[in-house]
Amino acid sequence: MSGFGNFALLLALFLSGYAVVIDLLGSLRRDPGLIKSACNATVAYMACLSVAMIALWVLLVKSDFAVIYVAEHTSRALPFPYKISALWAGSAGSLLLWLWFQAVFLVIVYCKSEFKHRSFSANARMMANLVSVFFLIILNSDKNPFELSKVTPVDGAGLNPLLQHPAMVLHPPILFVGYAGFLITFAWAFGQLKTAPDDNSLPLLKQAQRWAIFAWLFLTGGIVLGAWWAYEELGWGGYWAWDPVENSSLLPWLTATALLHCFRTYNRRSSIATWTVLLGIITFSLCVFGRFLTKYGLVSSVHAFPNPGLGILHVVLLIHVWVIAGALMLRNYIRKKNETPHAGIPSHRFVILNNWLLLLLALVIFVGTLFPFLSKVFIKIIESLSTQAGPPRAPITLAPEFFTKITAPGGLLLLLLIGLCPHLLRRGFNKSWRIILGVIAFAGALTIWLLTCSLETVRPSGISGTIGWWGQWLLSGSPAIPCFILSGFVLVNLLADFAKKSPRNLRWYGARIVHLGVAVMFIGIAGSGGYAMEKTAALRVGDKTNIAEYELTLNDLKVEYGRNFIAVAADISVHKGDKLIAKLKPARAFYSASRKNVSEIDIRRTLAGDLYLALTEVDNSRKLINLLIMIKPLINWIWIGSFVMVLGTLAVLLSSFKQKAITAKEN
Amino acid sequence: MKIKMILKILIGVTVIGGGLGYFTFQAMQSSWSYYYSVDEFSANISDMNNYSFRIAGRVKPGSVNRDLQKMNLTFTLAGTKTEIPVFYEGTVPDNFTEDIEVVVEGRLDENKSFKAKTLMTKCESKYKAKVE
Amino acid sequence: MDYLKWILLGVCVLFVILPLLTKRTDKTEKKR
């Protein structure tokens, strides 16, 4: 079976290589037979990848530990669902899954036999298959899931208990659907570059737009799922650490957001068209680069597994892609020099502003993530040029604070843009500034009043305490305040929109709901980031500790003996004044065999915020614990906001499909 | 006319670029730390007082001392030839134990012992790690 | 497992070669 899987992968490599060459030949010679053959080859290698996946699944389910991948990610005792999800638990299998999604999407979109779009499809497929060729080279050699080990182990290593969680099972495939979906806009961009666009290409554009929305939906979902798992499972009370692995999923998300707005205002004669093509290529390039970053340890972090292997192929692929893109863009520019430029519609100005903002944010995060690597290179250059001694020369890493310092203002600017655009578009600046200021002031006051009522966890009681606290809050200079005000501004705008009698359809609602979700998310981020409280306490049974307005009492420490673990559970009651408001049971389990500790947090969740408890230490006598207590105001609005974003996106996607059905009927 | 436009764009780009650059640089200044291995750090130890560092090494078996009452941790971070004593106050990652690779971030104090404000362990599975 | 490999190879090759063998009676591509 592993031999068969191996063979399927090898065949896929040859077929995809064939497809690239034949598509090229076919479009140069305008030969429909060749083009159809390349199209079939694409379908064929998609089938081979499916076969390979099934083969790998069979090996995983049968626990064939002769295969290294199976031994590394499963064990005999592993529950069945996790043997299935083990397919994407390791980098070889996850590459296979990603590639399979890509192939399936490619076949669905660009392997139809419509005559009209044959040469466009050939050009699109060519570049998409080039990507597949590179990935398949890696899959067949460096990261081959079917590689056999010399000695068959008796049992496999199993899956880290932290990863045995539904969110962690779903997180990779959801992200991969997103990454693979952006291949379509990538392919479309190259089709646009090579084939001169004309009026026939509108359905292709709409199709690429639909796929961009679809991919963005999944990428957003995947990122939020990862953040939520980190918060629930990892026990440090945070949901985003600006780690290179996390950043590599955020970067394409930022450029894809810009891409979506470009599609929305697309006009093939204006500069937006160039932006759209560029962003389509950039977004997918970031997906590929992100994979390179996470799986090949370019940046020394706690995730690094310095194992160069054939990782360099990712970079080679990207170089190919950009050289080809550059050449095509140059060619088009020379051809178009004589045409009169299009004036562009007013909304283009804002979309371009949005593009620049998101692109710059992505650039800074990109550079910040790569800083250790870049500083290493920089140091080597400096060292080879000078011989002086000086400040210590070592690679520089940037703490998470760097990223927060940059993205906080960046986020505020984005929020401002969301709020301002409708006004400025409708009436222009001169007529709107009074309205804008008025709405901001109103929104600010409203938001602050509402939050005062809800931030009970952080607000002290008593009048003088409250005034003092308000003063402190307002003067703290924390970016949270402007964030609340701007989010309020956006929310008030949207509510006003809903109240007006403007034309409404599903897409109109969807777009507004997405931005609503964004504003809500920002409120959650600002609240939990700006006003969180943290305390660690050493407690024995009977001890009490205080945080904000709460008093926590450790009532009991229970020891539980399991088959392969010993767990200590703390029984903690939370009082506010005299009232008992919660009983929480954070626990800590020690697995004897693997000598691992796993912390089970407990949370009291309310809309106003979370009270988060984690048992960080238990001493040997099991009578003394260290308890990490965190208050995270408004954090649940992050999850609520992202859910709203997903709903809005679904509405937009649905309306796009409705539109497609309507135009199909008309033709 | 055209020169005016180019001039406008140039000024705009310089202002925005300069602003962004300065702002980014400021952010960097406060949050960067040099990354060393234990031996590299020990070799330069006389220069080290004013900077924030990350040091990668191994937890020396037998050197771990946890005080749950005072909530701190001391251990010896070992390189291949040299060692550094580390003092850490904060949450200890779940998988911290003897003889594993860790990265500490912090500063050197007057007694030449390293005061860590962050402690990171390497994640065994090829997956997201826990970061303190 | 050898026969499975042959089947896979055969099916794919056939599918790919087919368009090259059928007579090219399609209208030629419009010049772009």
Instruction: Give the pLDDT confidence of A226-267 residue by residue, as tens digits.
Output: 999 889 887 788 899 888 889 999 999 999 999 999 999 988
Q: In sequence order, what are the residues at sequence separation of 6 or more whose Cβ sits closer than 8 angstroms to the Cβ of residue A519?
A: A415, A418, A487, A490, A491, A494, A641
On whether both B106 and B49 belong to a single domain, the answer is yes
Which range, A154-158, A424-428, C25-29, is most confident? A154-158
Long-range contacts of B80-83 (CB under 8 A, 24+ apart): B80/B38, B80/B39, B81/B39, B81/B42, B82/B38, B82/B39, B82/B42, B82/B43, B83/B38, B83/B42
CB contact under 8 A, A392 and B36: yes
On whether both B56 and B17 belong to a single domain, the answer is no
User: For the whole model, what pTM was predicted?
Assistant: 0.89
Averaged pLDDT for residues C15-26: 74
pLDDT higher than threshold 50 for residue A286: yes
- Which of the four pLDDT bands, split at 50, 70 and 90, describes residue B5? confident
User: A172 and A97 in contact (C-beta within 8 Å)?
Assistant: yes
pLDDT at residue A106, rounded to an integer: 94
pLDDT higher than threshold 80 for residue A501: no
Cα A178 from Cα A98, distance rounded (Å): 9
CB contact under 8 A, C24 and A33: yes
Buried b (16+ CB within 10 A) or exposed e, C8-21: beeebeebbeebee
Q: Are strands B65-67 and B72-78 parallel, antiparallel or unpaired?
A: antiparallel
Give me the residues paired with residue B65 across strands: B74
On whether both B16 and B64 belong to a single domain, the answer is no
- E strand intervals along A562-634: 565-576, 579-584, 587-591, 596-600, 602-606, 609-618, 624-633
Instruction: Name the token pair of B117.
Output: 């404000």
On whether both B88 and B56 belong to a single domain, the answer is yes
Q: Are strands B72-78 and B101-108 parallel, antiparallel or unpaired?
A: unpaired
User: A233 and A161 in contact (C-beta within 8 Å)?
Assistant: no
Query: What are A425-472's pLDDT values in tens digits?
Result: 777 666 667 777 777 877 777 666 666 655 554 555 555 556 666 666
| Nearest C-alpha neighbor of A285 from the set A143, A185, A144 | A185
pLDDT higher than threshold 60 for residue B77: yes
- Which of the four pLDDT bands, split at 50, 70 and 90, describes residue B128? very low
In a domain, B103, yes or no: yes
Chains that touch A (3 or more CB pairs under 8 A): B, C
Complex-level ipTM: 0.79
CB contact under 8 A, A395 and B34: yes
Least confident of A14-23, A97-106, B37-46: B37-46
Cα B104 from Cα A377, distance rounded (Å): 23
pLDDT at residue A226, rounded to an integer: 92
On whether both B4 and B47 belong to a single domain, the answer is no
Question: Exposed, middle or buried: residue A516 (CB in 10 Å: 0-12, 13-18, 19+)?
Answer: buried
Smallest Cα distance from A30 to chain C, Å:
6
Q: Are strands A550-561 and A533-540 parallel, antiparallel or unpaired?
A: unpaired
pLDDT higher than threshold 90 for residue A533: no
Q: 11-30 in C: which are within 8 Å (CB) of A?
A: 11-12, 15-20, 22, 24, 26-29
DSSP state of A655: H
Cα A569 from Cα A589, distance rounded (Å): 9
What are the backbone dihedrals phi and psi of residue B48, each rounded to the nearest 5 degrees, phi first?
A: -85, 0
pLDDT at residue A19, rounded to an integer: 94
pLDDT higher than threshold 60 for residue A477: no
Least confident of A357-361, A456-460, B54-58: A456-460
Smallest Cα distance from B41 to chain A, Å:
9
Chains that touch C (3 or more CB pairs under 8 A): A
Cα A585 from Cα A587, distance rounded (Å): 6
Start-to-end CA span in chain C (Å): 49
Instruction: Name the token pair of A617.
Output: 């230490």
CB contact under 8 A, A624 and B54: no
pLDDT at residue A183, rounded to an integer: 96
On whether both B59 and B91 belong to a single domain, the answer is yes
CB contact under 8 A, A48 and C18: no
On whether both B26 and B39 belong to a single domain, the answer is no
On whether both B52 and B101 belong to a single domain, the answer is yes
Averaged pLDDT for residues B67-77: 87
Instruction: Name the token pair of A638.
Output: 């992050």
Q: Which residues of B touch A368 (CB under 8 A)?
A: 28
pLDDT at residue A216, rounded to an integer: 97
Q: In what order do the strands lie in the sheet with A624-633?
A: A533-540, A624-633, A609-618, A602-606
CA distances from A427 to A255, A432, A503, B91 (A): 29, 6, 18, 54
pLDDT at residue A468, rounded to an integer: 63
Averaged pLDDT for residues A130-150: 90
pLDDT at residue B1, rounded to an integer: 55
In a domain, B97, yes or no: yes
A115 shares contact with chain C (CB less than 8 Å): yes
Averaged pLDDT for residues B96-104: 85
Cα A532 from Cα A393, distance rounded (Å): 36
Averaged pLDDT for residues B65-79: 87
On whether both B4 and B53 belong to a single domain, the answer is no
Are C and A touching by the rule of 3+ CB pairs within 8 Å?
yes
In a domain, B12, yes or no: yes
pLDDT at residue C30, rounded to an integer: 45
Higher local confidence (pLDDT), B81 or A563: B81
Smallest Cα distance from A438 to chain B, Å:
28
Residue in chain A closest to C3 (alpha carbons) equals A4
pLDDT over 70, % of chain A: 88
Smallest Cα distance from B15 to chain A, Å:
14
Residue in chain C closest to A50 (alpha carbons) equals C8
pLDDT higher than threshold 90 for residue C1: no
Averaged pLDDT for residues A612-621: 86
CB contact under 8 A, B35 and A300: yes
- Which of the four pLDDT bands, split at 50, 70 and 90, describes residue A474? low
The residue range of the domain holding B91 is: 33-121
- Which of the four pLDDT bands, split at 50, 70 and 90, describes residue B17? confident
- Which of the four pLDDT bands, split at 50, 70 and 90, describes residue B93? confident
pLDDT at residue A346, rounded to an integer: 76
User: A410 and A357 in contact (C-beta within 8 Å)?
Assistant: yes
- Give domain limits for chain A: 1-164, 401-524+641-666, 533-633
Tell me how many residue pairs between chain A and chain B have CB atoms under 8 A apart: 128
Long-range contacts of A475-480 (CB under 8 A, 24+ apart): A476/A530, A478/A530, A478/A531, A479/A408, A479/A409, A479/A412, A479/A526, A479/A530, A480/A526, A480/A527, A480/A529, A480/A530, A480/A531
Query: What are A91-129's pLDDT values in tens digits?
Result: 899 999 999 999 999 999 988 766 678 888 888 999 999
Cα A454 from Cα A154, distance rounded (Å): 57
pLDDT at residue A304, rounded to an integer: 44
Q: How many domains does chain B have?
A: 2
- Which of the four pLDDT bands, split at 50, 70 and 90, describes residue C32? very low
Q: Quick check: helix, strand or coil at residue B108?
A: strand
Cα A366 from Cα A246, distance rounded (Å): 11
CA distances from C26 to A33, A115, A120 (A): 9, 9, 17
CATH code for the domain in which residue B42 is found: 2.40.50.140
Mean pLDDT of chain A: 85
Q: Which residues of C touch A9 (CB under 8 A)?
A: none
If you write DSSP's letter for every residue of C1-32 in order, what string do you get? -HHHHHHHHHHHHHHHHHHHHS---SPPPPP-
B121 shares contact with chain A (CB less than 8 Å): yes
CB contact under 8 A, C12 and A32: no
| Nearest C-alpha neighbor of A255 from the set A279, A289, A229 | A279
On whether both B25 and B43 belong to a single domain, the answer is no
In a domain, B70, yes or no: yes
Cα A383 from Cα A377, distance rounded (Å): 10
Higher local confidence (pLDDT), A8 or A443: A8
| Nearest C-alpha neighbor of A186 from the set A319, A279, A293, A116 | A279
Instruction: Name the token pair of C9.
Output: 């190879």
Query: What are A394-420's pLDDT values in tens digits?
Result: 777 788 888 888 888 889 889 988 988
In a domain, B128, yes or no: no
pLDDT over 70, % of chain B: 86
- Which of the four pLDDT bands, split at 50, 70 and 90, describes residue B6? confident
In a domain, B63, yes or no: yes
Q: What is the CA radius of gyration of chain B?
A: 21
The full 3-state SS of A510-574, as one line of letters, equals HHHHHHHHHHHHHHHHHHHHHCCEEEEEEEECCCEEEECCEEEEEEEEEEEECCCEEEEEEEEEE
Largest Cα–Cα separation, chain C: 49
In a domain, B89, yes or no: yes
User: A279 and A262 in contact (C-beta within 8 Å)?
Assistant: yes
User: A168 and A253 in contact (C-beta within 8 Å)?
Assistant: no
Cα A339 from Cα A342, distance rounded (Å): 9
Please state, as a whole number, how many other Cβ atoms lie within 10 Å of the Cβ of residue B22.
10
In a domain, B50, yes or no: yes
User: B92 and A617 in contact (C-beta within 8 Å)?
Assistant: yes
CB contact under 8 A, C15 and A7: no
| Nearest C-alpha neighbor of A553 from the set A542, A564, A563 | A542
